[in-house]
Chain A
Amino acid sequence: MAQEKFIEVQHSSKIYNEGQENEVRANDDISFDIYKGELTIIVGASGAGKSTLLNILGGMDFNTHGKVIVNGNNISEYDERGRTGYRRKEIGFVFQFYNLIENLTAMENVEIASQLSDNPLDAVEALKQVSLDKRKDNFPAQMSGGEQQRVSIARAMAKNPGLLLADEPTGALDYHTGKQVLQVFQDYVRETGKNAIIVTHNGMIKPMADHVIEIFDGKVKSDTRNDNPTPIADLEW
């Protein structure tokens, strides 16, 4: 089937101290395409450069060589302000340690993001999608880790972004909670037809993705598509 390209990464490198003795190549000539509506997993050992790649895709960092085209725009040409605008309109981000604002309720944590979007989801609706609408008036400290992570996902989704990015979203969660959280991502992609990219070091969750990119030592080691993703309930790790 003819797939529409959503993201094109072309010979992208992130090189620190280039040309010097202590040169570090965090990303080294990476290229791949991501089609519209894919759930993508980028997998690799810690230090492989997968987080750098995700940060570049999310407009939080920039590459030093190559092109990154998202939804037709070459974001590697953006300046700081351009990247901020890009994050604001296009990206929903989920962190390993949730990073909810402690002094805001679940609902307000979602609202603070939806304030930024031209076309936001209703905050209660977003919380409903992560099954937390009943906890909307709770503060982060009153919720478990998994609940907090789901609020964090609701916050990312509330902006109604074209691309949902998650950095080790299950890293701080137990097995069952981790599964719940992954389910939310899968549902999001299936229901909205939008893209999500999850970065993880846990290779065991690869089968749930439509597309798996393996990074090793700053380079793409493998780039495979999976036409029959496994339902999350069947995953074991």
Chain B
Amino acid sequence: MKNMLNLNIWREIKASKARFFSVLGLIALAVFVFVGLKSTPEDMRNTVREVYTEQNLADAKLSMPTNDGFTNDEKDKIKQQKDVDKVEYSYQTDAKIHGHKQALRLISTPDTLSTMEIRSGKMPTQANEIALGEQLSDNYKIGDTIKLTDNNDKQLDTLEGEEFKVTGFVRSAQFMRRHNLGSTKMATGQLDGFAVTSPDAFTGSENVAQLSYNNVHGAAYSNEYEHQVRENTDNMQKVVNGLAKDRRTDLKNDIDKQVKDAQAQKQELETTVQAAQGTPMASQAQAGLDEINEKIDEANASKASIDQLEYTAETRHGFSPGYTEFGGDSDRVGELSNSFPIFFFAVALMVSFVTMQRMADVKRTEVGTLRALGYSGAQSLKEFIVYSVLVATLGTVVGTAIGIFILPQRIFEAFGSNFYTNSVSIGIMWWPILVSYGLALLSTVFPAVHTTYRDMREQAATQMLPKPPANGTRILLERWTGLWSKLSFFNKVTLRNILRNKVRMWMTILGVAGSIALLITGFGIRDSLNKLVPLQYEQIVHYDVVGLYNANASDAERDDYHQAIDEDKNVKRSTDIHMDSMNVSVKGQQSDSQVQLMVPEDNKQFDKYLTLRDYKTGQALDLQDDSAVVTEKLAKLKGLEVGDKLTVSNAKGEEHQVKIGAIAEMYTGHNVVMNATYYEKVFDEKPDANASLIRLDNRSNSAMRDMAEKLNQEDAAVSALQSGSIRNDIDTVLTSLNQVVLIIIIAAGLLAFTVLFTLTNINVSERIKELSTLKVLGFYPKEVLGYIYRETASLTALGILIGFGFGYVVHAYLMSVVMPENTMSVPGVTLINLGISTLIIVLFALIVMWLMARKINRVDMLGALK
């Protein structure tokens, strides 16, 4: 008997292939989206975690700016810190590759912490050998000799030699990114790569320390790990602040002592000069005196640079460019997993509800017969349950397989294209699979049971009879006789048919609306990114290069720096500002947000370089004496409004409070802008100009690079930033997002197709008699199709219109989620986007109509009317 029932189920599936597969498809789609989006971030993180583990990436890094290196006393103090497990010291220096506008960071061969993976060739063993990071593999090959110099093509005082033979290419978790490895004072101000050589190649002492802690647990990016490392490193920063302070005092004392000695010598010499006037000894003594005077001046000048000596302690977020982005990128993918799947499951639930109801309607006589034959209600229910469990199970299996294997790979390809890492490591997370299986079961079994119970309440005898067709009813619109009487006959019929089954009507509308919203969102990612660049660089930021220079450099050096700008023919205008890099901690972010603090010297000219306008009204903002202007995304991240206070901290970890006077529009980067008066109030010191904002005539990337390189050759130069480099970033993001957009579009298309197909299929099946009647009456095939398609078409059109609204909202939401922490999204979608999205939906609707037309045209009208 059991076998007979099972046989029946197989037959049922065979007989309703379209219905079975469309529900299965919808479930698979929903599971795919859910499992895929939940697994992907974890897979992404696991992939880089593997790299961190393989290379034993340090938890933190200490560095000092000179090649004097850490003293033994300092090393002892660092080692004594209770959290420190292992410390390894190495050398690091930035250099320009001679003959190229490229800068690289050269480090000495690591021991056991932050090791590297040799990708080709071998590691360098001699002081004249070098292995390059993969970033440079397009420009150089093994066996090449490269020359490393300073900005003026002279040998670096940090290196013993300047020519190196390339022995191989390496990969390092400290330099995962392909581009934007950070800033440097070499070449154009941007690091183009890194390299590793023997410690013998360096002069001086080790100036970098790699640390591992003994009290950290958990994997990279877990809150457990990140919080502990951050706490340790904040403490370590305080320790090294103390070390640096002592070092500065020692150095200054040394100089003072030297100056004192020199002055004593000077006095002696002066006496000698006076005594020996007229003798040849006098001129000799005079020369000695001049030399000593020069020494004293030099020593006093170097005191200024000693003030600049700071040690930094950084977590991976600081010393490994790409670490934060990788975590952030995967978090953003994770964010999507909390919203999109809900929608897919909701549609799957609705559609399977309708499908199961239809199945129950078709099979009610059979269930009734089974009951009449003496089967219990539960036994006849069994077939429905087996059917729906089967759909849910197969759907989950298919969706999980695609979600686990395909989606992470595609998304990793997109996000990972900016990094050098391993290929994606696929892992299986069970909970999303179980949750989606549960949701899948809910979507299919619940409707099946609900529908069957509804029928079970009837007596078996009634149930054996076919269900009477739903009664015709008037619709509300008919009361509005003025309009109703103006409608053509077929429009009236279409309207009444549409409104006859409101559940189905809403499902079609919502299914289509959801699909087009997804499409709009998918294309909208591109729209918004494309709009960002012109908005940011034509309307808000007007400078091309920021030249950072040493405010403590000698007057002559600073004059040279400014002269270099003034004499350049490509400079349109420039202005000086005080600029500081500050940190702001943001709740929910494992690393601080970087904020540029800007204090213009000339408030009136400033708007020629940066337009400050209110983010809501667009009104120009003036700098006030009692508050600062803060940019929009920063205010949003912190949840602050005008009048609130923002806490910023400098590199040394000192905190200051800034009152927000206005919020300004800004799309990339965070800025706090204030005038000198308010700066003094907040920081208790005068803002020394230390940066030139430069606007060029020729604003091409290469012109910006030339300018940056030129500035870096000056003695006063600290670094140069090119404001346009963000454009390249956005181009890279756009290319890499193509995959994701494609996935969204395919999912949306499938969704639209399945919803329209299922609902039209059921609609047609239910109304076969009606359609046959029309055929018999002499309706031509086109008219028969038109009769039923007018409904599909109107609902699709309505769905598209509602979807425009949905799409706008979902797009805004998605952009706020997927944008990096320092980038604002530009709202709004383009008309082309709406057009293409509409076209795709219409295309899928037409495919459904074409498939259904074949079914309708094949209907045996005589058979249907018996």
Given A103-B497, A103-B500, 18 more contacts at CB 8 Å? A55-B862, A58-B776, A84-B778, A84-B779, A85-B778, A85-B780, A99-B769, A99-B773, A102-B470, A103-B470, A103-B496, A112-B493, A113-B777, A141-B471, A141-B472, A155-B777, A159-B777, A159-B778
Bound together, the chains give a CA A104 to CA B865 distance in angstroms of 18
User: Are B493 and A116 touching (Cβ within 8 A)?
Assistant: no
Which secondary structure dominates chain B's binding surface? Answer: helix
Partner of A111, one of B489, B500, B779: B489
Bound together, the chains give a CA A60 to CA B778 distance in angstroms of 9
- The 4 closest A-B CB pairs, nearest first, are A88-B778, A139-B472, A87-B778, A141-B471
In the assembled complex, how far is the CB of residue B474 from the closest CB belonging to chain A, in whole angstroms?
Answer: 8
User: Are A112 and B472 touching (Cβ within 8 A)?
Assistant: no
Bound together, the chains give a CA A111 to CA B775 distance in angstroms of 15
Partner of A102, one of B471, B775, B781: B471
Bound together, the chains give a CA A139 to CA B496 distance in angstroms of 12
Partner of B492, one of A108, A139, A155, A159: A108
Most central of B496, B500, B772, B862 by chain A CB within 10 Å = B862
**Chain A residue total in the interface (Cβ 8 A):** 33
0/1 interface trace, chain A 129-165, chain B, CB 8 Å (1 if under): 0000000000111100000000000010001000000
0/1 interface trace, chain B 453-495, chain A, CB 8 Å (1 if under): 0000000000000001111110000000000000001101100
Q: List 26 A-B contacts (CB under 8 A).
A: A58-B776, A60-B862, A61-B862, A81-B780, A84-B778, A84-B779, A85-B778, A85-B780, A88-B777, A91-B778, A93-B777, A99-B769, A101-B773, A102-B471, A102-B472, A103-B470, A104-B496, A105-B472, A108-B492, A108-B493, A111-B489, A115-B489, A116-B778, A116-B779, A159-B777, A159-B778
- Does A95 make an interface contact (CB < 8 A)? yes
* Contacting residues, chain B, for A58 (C-beta < 8 A): 776
In the assembled complex, how far is the CB of residue A151 from the closest CB belonging to chain B, in whole angstroms?
Answer: 12
* Contacting residues, chain A, for B773 (C-beta < 8 A): 99, 101
* Contacting residues, chain A, for B492 (C-beta < 8 A): 108
* Contacting residues, chain A, for B781 (C-beta < 8 A): 84
- Does A25 make an interface contact (CB < 8 A)? no
Bound together, the chains give a CA A51 to CA B497 distance in angstroms of 32
**Those of A74-94 within 8 Å (CB) of chain B:** 81, 84-89, 91, 93
* Contacting residues, chain A, for B779 (C-beta < 8 A): 84, 88, 116
- Does B861 make an interface contact (CB < 8 A)? yes
Bound together, the chains give a CA A102 to CA B773 distance in angstroms of 12
- Does A35 make an interface contact (CB < 8 A)? no
- Does A216 make an interface contact (CB < 8 A)? no
- Does B770 make an interface contact (CB < 8 A)? yes
User: Which residue of the partner chain B has the closest CB to A137?
Assistant: B474
Bound together, the chains give a CA A95 to CA B865 distance in angstroms of 8
* Contacting residues, chain B, for A81 (C-beta < 8 A): 780
* Contacting residues, chain B, for A112 (C-beta < 8 A): 489, 493, 774, 777
User: Are A140 and B472 touching (Cβ within 8 A)?
Assistant: yes
User: Are A87 and B777 touching (Cβ within 8 A)?
Assistant: yes
User: Are A139 and B865 touching (Cβ within 8 A)?
Assistant: no
* Contacting residues, chain A, for B774 (C-beta < 8 A): 112
Bound together, the chains give a CA A133 to CA B492 distance in angstroms of 20
0/1 interface trace, chain B 847-866, chain A, CB 8 Å (1 if under): 00000000000000110010
User: Which residue of the partner chain B has the closest CB to A58?
Assistant: B776
* Contacting residues, chain B, for A99 (C-beta < 8 A): 769, 772-773, 776, 865
* Contacting residues, chain B, for A85 (C-beta < 8 A): 778, 780
* Contacting residues, chain A, for B489 (C-beta < 8 A): 108, 111-112, 115
Interface residues of A (CB under 8 A from B): 55, 58, 60-61, 81, 84-89, 91, 93, 95, 97, 99, 101-105, 108, 111-113, 115-116, 139-142, 155, 159
Bound together, the chains give a CA A87 to CA B769 distance in angstroms of 17
Partner of A101, one of B471, B770, B775, B780: B770
* Contacting residues, chain A, for B862 (C-beta < 8 A): 55, 60-61
Bound together, the chains give a CA A113 to CA B489 distance in angstroms of 11
* Contacting residues, chain A, for B471 (C-beta < 8 A): 102, 139, 141-142
Bound together, the chains give a CA A105 to CA B484 distance in angstroms of 15
Partner of A60, one of B470, B473, B776: B776
Bound together, the chains give a CA A162 to CA B618 distance in angstroms of 76
Bound together, the chains give a CA A97 to CA B466 distance in angstroms of 14
In the assembled complex, how far is the CB of residue A86 from the closest CB belonging to chain B, in whole angstroms?
Answer: 8
* Contacting residues, chain A, for B472 (C-beta < 8 A): 101-105, 139-141
In the assembled complex, how far is the CB of residue A78 from the closest CB belonging to chain B, in whole angstroms?
Answer: 13
**Those of B529-552 within 8 Å (CB) of chain A:** none
User: Which residue of the partner chain B has the closest CB to A55?
Assistant: B862
User: Are A84 and B493 touching (Cβ within 8 A)?
Assistant: no
* Contacting residues, chain A, for B497 (C-beta < 8 A): 103
User: Are B473 and A139 touching (Cβ within 8 A)?
Assistant: yes
In the assembled complex, how far is the CB of residue B448 from the closest CB belonging to chain A, in whole angstroms?
Answer: 26
User: Which residue of the partner chain A has the closest CB to B501?
Assistant: A103
* Contacting residues, chain A, for B493 (C-beta < 8 A): 103-104, 108, 112
User: Which residue of the partner chain B has the closest CB to A87?
Assistant: B778
* Contacting residues, chain B, for A88 (C-beta < 8 A): 777-780
User: Are B776 and A102 touching (Cβ within 8 A)?
Assistant: no
User: Which residue of the partner chain B has the closest CB to A155?
Assistant: B777
User: Which residue of the partner chain A has the closest CB to B787?
Assistant: A112
Bound together, the chains give a CA A87 to CA B492 distance in angstroms of 25
In the assembled complex, how far is the CB of residue B61 from the closest CB belonging to chain A, in whole angstroms?
Answer: 75
In the assembled complex, how far is the CB of residue A212 from the closest CB belonging to chain B, in whole angstroms?
Answer: 24
In the assembled complex, how far is the CB of residue A21 from the closest CB belonging to chain B, in whole angstroms?
Answer: 24
Most central of A61, A91, A102 by chain B CB within 10 Å = A102
Bound together, the chains give a CA A99 to CA B781 distance in angstroms of 19
Bound together, the chains give a CA A16 to CA B471 distance in angstroms of 39
Bound together, the chains give a CA A71 to CA B470 distance in angstroms of 41
* Contacting residues, chain B, for A104 (C-beta < 8 A): 472, 493, 496
Partner of A97, one of B470, B500, B776, B865: B865
In the assembled complex, how far is the CB of residue A130 from the closest CB belonging to chain B, in whole angstroms?
Answer: 17
In the assembled complex, how far is the CB of residue B232 from the closest CB belonging to chain A, in whole angstroms?
Answer: 74
0/1 interface trace, chain B 542-571, chain A, CB 8 Å (1 if under): 000000000000000000000000000000
**Those of B357-411 within 8 Å (CB) of chain A:** none
* Contacting residues, chain A, for B775 (C-beta < 8 A): 84
In the assembled complex, how far is the CB of residue A195 from the closest CB belonging to chain B, in whole angstroms?
Answer: 17
* Contacting residues, chain B, for A97 (C-beta < 8 A): 865
* Contacting residues, chain A, for B776 (C-beta < 8 A): 58, 60, 87, 93, 99
* Contacting residues, chain B, for A89 (C-beta < 8 A): 778
Bound together, the chains give a CA A116 to CA B776 distance in angstroms of 12
In the assembled complex, how far is the CB of residue B9 from the closest CB belonging to chain A, in whole angstroms?
Answer: 31
**Those of B490-531 within 8 Å (CB) of chain A:** 490, 492-493, 496-497, 500
User: Which residue of the partner chain A has the closest CB to B864?
Assistant: A99
In the assembled complex, how far is the CB of residue B710 from the closest CB belonging to chain A, in whole angstroms?
Answer: 80
Bound together, the chains give a CA A142 to CA B474 distance in angstroms of 13
In the assembled complex, how far is the CB of residue A165 from the closest CB belonging to chain B, in whole angstroms?
Answer: 10
User: Are A60 and B861 touching (Cβ within 8 A)?
Assistant: yes
Bound together, the chains give a CA A18 to CA B468 distance in angstroms of 40
Bound together, the chains give a CA A88 to CA B779 distance in angstroms of 7
* Contacting residues, chain B, for A139 (C-beta < 8 A): 471-473
0/1 interface trace, chain B 716-758, chain A, CB 8 Å (1 if under): 0000000000000000000000000000000000000000000
Most central of B469, B472, B496, B780 by chain A CB within 10 Å = B472
Bound together, the chains give a CA A89 to CA B780 distance in angstroms of 12
In the assembled complex, how far is the CB of residue B502 from the closest CB belonging to chain A, in whole angstroms?
Answer: 13
Bound together, the chains give a CA A60 to CA B772 distance in angstroms of 11
Partner of B469, one of A84, A93, A102: A102
* Contacting residues, chain B, for A60 (C-beta < 8 A): 776, 861-862
0/1 interface trace, chain B 251-287, chain A, CB 8 Å (1 if under): 0000000000000000000000000000000000000
* Contacting residues, chain B, for A87 (C-beta < 8 A): 776-778
In the assembled complex, how far is the CB of residue A154 from the closest CB belonging to chain B, in whole angstroms?
Answer: 13
* Contacting residues, chain B, for A55 (C-beta < 8 A): 862
User: Which residue of the partner chain B has the closest CB to A113?
Assistant: B777
* Contacting residues, chain B, for A159 (C-beta < 8 A): 777-778
Most central of B489, B773, B774, B780 by chain A CB within 10 Å = B773
Bound together, the chains give a CA A105 to CA B492 distance in angstroms of 11
